[in-house]
Chains A and B, each alone.
Chain A
Amino acid sequence: MVNYFVKIFKGTWSLIKGMGVTLKYYFTKPVTVQYPYERREVAPVWRGTLRQLCDDKSVEICDGCQICAKICPVQCITMEVYKDPIDNKRKTSSYTVDFGRCMFCGLCVESCPKKCLVHTTDYEFVSYDRAGMVLGKDKLVRK
């Protein structure tokens, strides 16, 4: 008989403890990030889409050494190189990256001798078709 009431009391006490836990969480701040309205800051070393940097006078730094294209494990970088007759330097006539293939490993950025190829922190990259995933020089070079 005593055991019966002790059991009921213990059960009730554990239920009240559980309700205390949920009430505590009821008053804590939600962890939700309201995505399209607020965005989380990603880490600066985030490997997002690739960009080519320019120098102060907005002239391309890239000298077309093709190391990035050769080191790419999925061969998503293609470039065409020519020799500029004016200043006698190597330059790229076209530079495309197929982001449909790219696996964002970062080897191209690590191996770039001029440090002009960088990852951005941009993580929203979508397109309606595969052709849209191939970016040319007009999109990649950041003036």
Chain B
Amino acid sequence: MSSNYGLEKVWLWGVSLIERLISWLGLPYIFAYTIEKIIFGVALLVFIAVSVLYLIWLERKVSAHMQSRMGPMHVGGWRGWAQTIADMVKLLFKEDIIPSKADKWVHRIAPIVVFVPSLMAFLVIPFEKNLIVQDLNIGILLIFAFSSIAVLAIIMGGWSSNNKYTLLGGIRSAAQMVSYEIPLVLSILSIVMVVGSLKLNDMVAAQSGDGKFWFVFTQPLAFILYLVAGTAEVNRVPFDIPEAESEIVSGYNTEYSGLKYGFYMLSEFTNMLIISMVAATVFLGGWSAPAWLSFLPGVVVLLIKTYFIVFILMWFRWTFPRLRVDRLMDFGWKILIPLAFLNIFIIGLRMVVFKW
């Protein structure tokens, strides 16, 4: 296995420093543990906020160049890099409107409920071998469990706004996410069969080293299924029917404004980041790089792979038109799920017959 550790050394040094300090003070270990996790959590939050701002800018740039435009060019000087920061500041200053007929508490809570699960999914993603909040042995299961809570928040937002468009968006989102969760998990199942573990670090280990290939090459069908189902899971074009602008205004977040709308936006892009990061970890080898690239820190390798997947998702968005609701269901149940089962069958046969 290639040993490309960069940030990990710094982190482990910091952890040992904190633990020594706590034991010198004579406090129990739980204090050191809590402080470590809080520091990691804050660092993660900063990372998410910065990369979401950057992703929105990137999305606008990619879309512009695919349409022979230039995108934001003015704010901040170099190619409008500060445009999304300006947009965020504008969102902070906007009035926070709650509709008078709305279910106020649910309306207030929904943006938090939508953001927390997408943050929690970062819990088990290994940025480097030991640079991870908690290496749980049910890692991938936890990610999918948390990502399905987001449906609840979207329905909460849609229902509590007391508006027919938001309700339609919420219900559409529920139907879509429930049916696309199945192919998403089934496509990962074939990987789990081969690896024999739900731990994400084990999946990385199974792809790095001599004579081992990335799962995108050994199981291409699973990768394609994951990418398609993942696109549907984060409600992006061509599966953006919950927030179809031309049909139901803006879907479940129509009645939200200001910071609450910002939270919906944030969680949307965070979900995209998670889907890409899981794809990079499970199918593209995660933080491990080939031997000739081992001078790069693992975090950088993971981020390069993640942003490659993000680019593919953006490429989808600016190429394909939106699906009709019934065709979306058809596609999910009649094509993706049978193909996922076929994939599991093929991989199972390969494991039994070829022992590979």
**Complex partner residue of B315 from A8, A22, A32, A34, CB under 8 angstroms:** A22
Known: A8-B335, A15-B320, A18-B320. A30 touches B315 (CB 8 A): no
B276 to chain A, nearest CB (A): 17
A7 to chain B, nearest CB (A): 9
- Docked complex Cα distance between A26 and B73 (Å): 17
B355 close to A (CB within 8 Å): no
- Docked complex Cα distance between A22 and B318 (Å): 8
Number of A-B residue pairs at CB separation under 8 A: 37
- Docked complex Cα distance between A8 and B339 (Å): 10
- In chain B, positions 113-142 with a C-beta closer than 8 Å to chain A are none
- Docked complex Cα distance between A101 and B319 (Å): 47
- In chain A, positions 111-142 with a C-beta closer than 8 Å to chain B are none
Which residue of chain B is the closest to A27 with respect to CB atoms?
A: B65
Q: Mark B58-80, 1 if CB is under 8 A from A, else 0.
A: 00001011111110010000000
Chain B residues touching A, range: 10 to 19
- Docked complex Cα distance between A62 and B90 (Å): 56
> Do A30 and B320 touch (CB < 8 A)?
no
> Do B68 and A25 touch (CB < 8 A)?
yes
Chain A residues touching B, range: 10 to 19
A28 partner residues in chain B, CB cutoff 8 A = 68
Chain A binding site: helix, strand, loop or mixed by DSSP? helix
**Complex partner residue of B62 from A18, A21, A26, A30, CB under 8 angstroms:** A26
Which residue of chain B is the closest to A29 with respect to CB atoms?
A: B68
A45 close to B (CB within 8 Å): no
**Complex partner residue of A26 from B66, B316, B320, B335, CB under 8 angstroms:** B66
> Do A23 and B320 touch (CB < 8 A)?
no
A34 partner residues in chain B, CB cutoff 8 A = 70, 73
**Complex partner residue of A18 from B64, B65, B319, CB under 8 angstroms:** B319
B70 partner residues in chain A, CB cutoff 8 A = 30, 32, 34
A32 partner residues in chain B, CB cutoff 8 A = 68-70
Q: Mark A10-43, 1 if CB is under 8 A from B, else 0.
A: 0000010011011101101111101000000000
Q: Which of A8, A19, A28, A34 has the most CB of B within 10 A?
A: A19
A29 partner residues in chain B, CB cutoff 8 A = 68
A19 partner residues in chain B, CB cutoff 8 A = 315-316, 319
A31 partner residues in chain B, CB cutoff 8 A = 68-69
> Do A30 and B335 touch (CB < 8 A)?
no
- Docked complex Cα distance between A126 and B67 (Å): 32
- Docked complex Cα distance between A96 and B47 (Å): 64
B66 partner residues in chain A, CB cutoff 8 A = 22-23, 25-26
B135 to chain A, nearest CB (A): 36
A18 partner residues in chain B, CB cutoff 8 A = 319-320
Which residue of chain A is the closest to B65 with respect to CB atoms?
A: A26
- Docked complex Cα distance between A18 and B321 (Å): 11
A25 partner residues in chain B, CB cutoff 8 A = 65-68
> Do B319 and A30 touch (CB < 8 A)?
no
- Docked complex Cα distance between A8 and B335 (Å): 8
B320 partner residues in chain A, CB cutoff 8 A = 15, 18
B335 partner residues in chain A, CB cutoff 8 A = 8
> Do B64 and A30 touch (CB < 8 A)?
yes
A33 to chain B, nearest CB (A): 10
B316 partner residues in chain A, CB cutoff 8 A = 19
Which residue of chain A is the closest to B67 with respect to CB atoms?
A: A25
> Do B69 and A30 touch (CB < 8 A)?
yes
Q: Mark B300-327, 1 if CB is under 8 A from A, else 0.
A: 0000000000000001101110000000
A2 to chain B, nearest CB (A): 14
A8 to chain B, nearest CB (A): 6
Which 9 A-B pairs rank lowest in CB-CB distance, beginning with the nearest?
Answer: A22-B319, A32-B70, A30-B70, A22-B66, A26-B66, A31-B68, A18-B319, A19-B319, A26-B65
Can you identify 13 A-B contacts, CB atoms within 8 angstroms? A8-B339, A15-B319, A19-B315, A19-B319, A22-B315, A25-B65, A29-B68, A30-B65, A30-B70, A31-B68, A32-B68, A32-B69, A34-B73
